[in-house]
Structure 1
């Protein structure tokens, strides 16, 4: 039986709610400093991913929601706003953090998951976000995902892209399915670094362009599937998996 593990935030769950929230709350003030709200959001998220990964690597794991809140004013400062408290305060930050809980699925996700399940795939989730928050995103989007198939790095005390996270996930699936066939286990993400780490651990990988647009194969390497949109991703994974299975049988 084939399995596929998905990154959640950024891949399956989009950022539109947060982009709108930032624009609504502090967008006009950001623009007064020649700072585009979308660019600020990307800087905030990228800085969070970096600090999350670095802290994990040095054995000082911190949850993403804590990091996001802690680095908010620093990110404003790095965006060229020398007095961040002049455009945002703690009340603004608390409101924005609450908006993080309202994210919803990207277009095509329900259809992709149904297509994969209809073709025999078991779907898993591997996320840097805390489990309850991710479950809330699924609830917001009316998506069904078994609790036992949602794995948060919080439960491991180490975050992506540390190799042991992907190795844990791969071994968990092999143990649960009673199979040691790597060609039956896929990893799907919109982050090229995520796919790179998963591929090195032994997953077949599928990258989708809904977030980064460019795969940058020259630094991250090539994936088994590259797709434009989630629906195409599911279709290509099923098609490619069938070819791999036929060849190996």
Structure 2
């Protein structure tokens, strides 16, 4: 019998961004709101800008860990949101507090059930992340969800960021040719790229709500609105 594997994206898929947004709100939220900027909208803008630069650096063969990139983009992101003098608006200490909020993200409801469903069906659960494995594993440890360190694969090791196809290949190479190999994510750009290198794709709408599937050249074997439903569908589609 072939072995069965599911590789998960972590941040955004298994983990929500609420703690990050809440930290920003606590640290500088009142000042942002005075400028008609919500903590959530600034947090999303900052995070998205960091992901963009992180990806561009990787593409141009100047890979930097995501934690370094998001820290560097804080003041620029404030400026892009309409804060004309960002370095008088906030301090380095406040920036660092906001960055720390990204390390305190929490698992989405249903993540533990999702993993349990898959493991009970004989799947090995893996994680492929752009973050450092220790920080990302901490999300699971704080929630009391078992996720062995040896089952984390980080883009920091290869120095290539998702969604470059080379970022998925080290994960795929861990498995035998006839193994059952799934990639599961709540980012359509992520799972659709994994499909291109040979994974079966499972997409959950829990983060993006709208898949914008017309932009992505990949067929999903599983589409679901919750993580447990996605797990059940993966099990059913693998029999």
Whether these two folds match at TM > 0.5 is yes
Equivalent of 2:63 in 53, 61, 64: 61
Deviant stretches of 4+, over 6 Å: none
Gaps of 5+ in 2: none
1:15-60 deviation digits (Å, cap 9, x = unpaired): 1111111111111111111112111111111111111111111100
When structure 1 is superposed on structure 2, of 112-121 and 23-32 the one drifting more is 23-32
The 1-side partners of 2:160 and 2:189 are apart by 16
Equivalent of 2:88 in 86, 98, 113: 86
Equivalent of 1:129 in 124, 128, 131: 131
Deviation at 1:217, TM superposition (A): 0.8
Secondary structure of 2:238's aligned partner = helix
Secondary structure of 1:102's aligned partner = coil
Q: Is the 8 A contact 1:6 1:189 kept in 2?
A: yes
Q: Is the 8 A contact 2:14 2:108 kept in 1?
A: yes
Secondary structure of 1:236's aligned partner = helix
The equivalent of 1:9 in structure 2 is 11
Q: Is the 8 A contact 2:19 2:105 kept in 1?
A: yes
The equivalent of 1:220 in structure 2 is 216
Deviation at 1:103, TM superposition (A): 1.3
Secondary structure of 1:110's aligned partner = helix
- Structure 2 matches for 1:1-249, cutoff 5 A? 1-172=3-174, 174=175, 179-181=176-178, 184-221=180-217, 222-242=219-239
Q: Tell me how large the CA RMSD over aligned residues is.
A: 1.2
The 2-side partners of 1:36 and 1:95 are apart by 17
The size of the alignment, in residue pairs, is: 236
The 2-side partners of 1:132 and 1:48 are apart by 20
1:94-130 deviation digits (Å, cap 9, x = unpaired): 1112222211110000011000000011111100001
1:197-241 deviation digits (Å, cap 9, x = unpaired): 101111101111111110111001431111111111111111122
Gaps of 5+ in 1: 243-249
Deviation at 1:8, TM superposition (A): 0.6
Q: Is the 8 A contact 2:10 2:129 kept in 1?
A: yes
Q: Is the 8 A contact 1:30 1:87 kept in 2?
A: no
Structure showing the higher helix proportion among its residues: 1
Q: Is the 8 A contact 2:15 2:107 kept in 1?
A: yes
